[in-house]
């Protein structure tokens, strides 16, 4: 996975790598990690901390990636793909 993510740029990012989890973790464990990451990088949190607008835009992109990664993993693990 790491090699693919690093060298195959046409491939979408591996959702497990985006969240920093492994496929053998339970959906509940992955959801806990996802929620923590969302809280840390939510644009509203960034604005409250007074970060520059550029950082808020990056946080918005990161939030999209986090949500897409979690949705992908959830669909895979629940069979709703």
Residues near 25 by Cβ (< 8 Å), separated by ≥ 6?
A: 33
Among 31-40, 45-54, 70-79, name the one with the lowest average pLDDT: 45-54
- Answer yes or no: is pLDDT of 28 > 80: yes
Tokens of 52: 């520059």
- Answer yes or no: is pLDDT of 66 > 50: yes
Q: Which domain holds residue 33?
A: 2-78
The average confidence (pLDDT) of the chain is 86
Please report, for the domain that includes residue 11, its CATH number: 1.10.287.110
> For position 41, what pLDDT does the model report?
85
Domain count, the chain: 1
Residues near 11 by Cβ (< 8 Å), separated by ≥ 6?
A: 4, 5
- pTM value? 0.78
Burial of 70 (0-12, 13-18, 19+ CB in 10 A): buried
């Amino acid at each position: 996975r790491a090699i693919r993510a690093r060298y195959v740029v046409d491939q979408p990012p591996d959702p497990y790598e985006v969240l920093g989890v492994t496929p053998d973790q339970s959906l509940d464990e992955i959801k806990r990690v996802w929620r923590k990451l969302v809280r840390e990088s939510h644009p509203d949190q960034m604005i409250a901390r007074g970060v520059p607008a550029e950082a808020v835009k990056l946080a918005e992109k990161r939030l999209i990636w986090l949500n897409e990664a979690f949705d992908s993993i959830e669909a895979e693990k629940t069979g709703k793909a």
